[in-house]
Structure 1
């Protein structure tokens, strides 16, 4: 069982991640590949991905067995996209590498690391560089073809939990994170492979929805790392099937312009800040803000302030346009 101990300060510092974490999805998907336990839900991904798995993935699976402890350094606690995570992996401090490999030996006594792990223990940059290169190759080959759909599913889960938060506060969110969740302040109890206590101590907690996390939630073994709880999401049954309708981006782009079409699609499955929309559209925040203002004027998007950010969501009219229903855009 995992027991997460909160203080009042921690409750005020809970956050829900804005999107999937590429390294946690890498780790969780490796488990799915090794166990072949994708079932019908993840079957389409497994069938397409198995032939594409790079040979260098063996460097990752050596550090991430299908059952048992995986090295914490494989999932750096940093923000940003894949490039930032890979740079953090390459720059893992030697003391963390040593600690994680020692923990690996304790928790996986029947598993022997290959000879190249000595490069990691010695702090040779080439050793961690090869691990990071293997992670890059795996994500590019196995996750990237599905990344947009992965993002949509995680975004939907975040939207659902945000609605639960608005209705019932953090008590409702923590109580419904997982079927095993038992929340009674100040402790959240969850099913876990080992007996572990995590004392937040005012650091707060990041709730990280994960597309490939299927069973129990997970977290770092090292309690000194930034607290995160990776938990399964509720998938849409037909997530792998491309949607039809003028979810044809070309048709929508011809109607409202390419950048505005990308922004509207990015909002279709959740709430986003201007900065998040800018990153998804590959543009600057001022440019995204200008286009969102135009979408708002057309009643396709609504916006409201929350603390220091402006949150945007698609309106009923905007959703109807995305779904290809007949709509009137006249004044």
Structure 2
């Protein structure tokens, strides 16, 4: 069990991360999902990625075990987390002592091939080979799926921000995973089997909450004595889009039959599309359903007048999302029950 201790200053410095481009750590974590399965959510993704692996992907397989800890130098911190903020340059610039310490830690748990000795001694060619391969793998495993991943992460972030505003930071911490316990001022997380209790004090540095598509079901704590500690967790997925790879338009199921019978096919599809906490603008809604903006606006207005949808203006954009009543109606119809009150 890991116990993370907060002060009042730490609670005030809890932040919810956001990157416009996705961090390289997603690619590193996805190597584990690629090898150990991780369920039907990633089945189509595994099939596509498995056919396009870089020629030297085995280099990454040697450094990233099928589960558990992977060397931190492969996952640069918040300031250099993404390709656009210099992640690969940061990896190439990893100090020799850091490489040696992390590969020693990895070798105590897994048998490493001989070439990793060169990496441990800071050999530039070995480090370049690993970095280039990781960059090529990122382009195969992450880049083609950015829009889908970003939609899931944006919806989760919107939900966490909403929870913070209405119930406080403690509710966000407690809601990260069913096995996470928040008893102020301590956050308890499940640890690996056989590991005893570990206590970590944030000491005023706060905590960055960072949702990752491929982090696995349990939150991962990236704790250190310098910089901002990070807690990586799995986002909540929209039940209407529970797959990393979107089905082609002609293969997507329409709105649930019960909902379509009640509202009409297009209006039901509009309501379901707005079920994400992040919502959609009218333009996004029209594009996702292949209808005109005028038609999308008409259906949203009718649903809003019925109390099923709410619309909020953000700068020059109006975003629409379902109300609690709209979400309940979708849930009831999906279960095949009569959605009428009193049924």
Relative to the length of structure 1, the TM-score reads 0.70
Q: Deviation per CA, 1:236-291: give whole Å up to 9, x if none.
A: 242432696xxxxxxxxxxxxxxxxxxxxxxx9749xxxxxxxxxxxxxxxxxxxx
Residues of 1 paired with 2:248 and 2:8: CA distance?
A: 43
Asked whether the 8 Å contact 1:192–1:217 carries over to 2, the reply is no
Give ranges in structure 1 of 5+ residues lacking alignment: 245-267, 272-299, 305-311, 318-331
Shift of residue 199 of structure 1? 2.0
The equivalent of 1:241 in structure 2 is: 246
Contact map agreement 1:21 1:208 (CA 8 A) in 2? no
Structure 2 vs 1, CA of residues 152 and 34 (structure 1 numbering), >3 Å: closer, same or farther? Answer: same
Q: Which of the residues 84, 93, 96 maps onto 2:95?
A: 93
Q: 1:100 to 1:170 in 2, by over 3 A?
A: same
Show the counterpart of 1:316.
320
Query: Separation in 2 of the partners of 1:135 and 1:52?
Result: 13
Structure 2, unaligned stretches of length 5 or more?
250-275, 280-310, 322-343
- How many Å separate the matches in 2 of 1:153 and 1:22? 15
Corresponding residue for residue 136 of structure 1: 135
Conservation of the 8 A alpha-carbon contact between 2:211 and 2:235: yes
Displacement after TM superposition at 1:224 (Å): 4.4
User: How far 1:145 sits from its partner (Å)?
Assistant: 1.1
Residue 259 of structure 1 aligns with which residue? none
Residue 121 of structure 1: how far off its partner (Å):
2.0
Q: How far, CA to CA, are the matches of 1:269 and 1:85 in structure 2?
A: 30
Secondary structure of residue in 2 paired with 1:219? strand
- Contact (CA 8 Å) 2:99, 2:121: kept in 1 or not? no
Find the counterpart in structure 1 of residue 185 from structure 2. Answer: 186
In the alignment, the residues of structure 1 paired with residue 208 and residue 232 of structure 2 have an alpha-carbon distance, to the nearest angstrom, of 8
Aligned residue runs from structure 1 range 184-223, under 5 A: 184-193=183-192, 194-195=195-196, 196-220=198-222, 222-223=224-225
CA distance in 1, matches of 2:97, 2:131: 18
In 1: Cα distance, 2:223 partner to 2:101 partner:
11
Instruction: Name the residue aligned to 1:43.
Output: 43
**2:69 aligned counterpart, secondary structure:** coil
User: Which whole-Å deviations, capped at 9, do the CAs of 1:141-170 have from their partners, x for residues lacking one?
Assistant: 122111111111111111111111011110
- Aligned 8 A contact 2:205 2:227 in 1: no
**Superposed CA offset, 1:157-186 (max 9, x none):** 111111110111101110101111101122
Q: TM-score, normalised by structure 2?
A: 0.68
Q: Aligned equivalents of 1:169 and 1:315: distance in 2?
A: 24
Which of 303, 307, 313 aligns to 1:302? It is 313
Count of residues in correspondence between the two structures: 256
1:61 is matched with: 61
SS in structure 2 opposite 1:173?
helix
Contact 1:72 1:221 in 2 (8 A): no
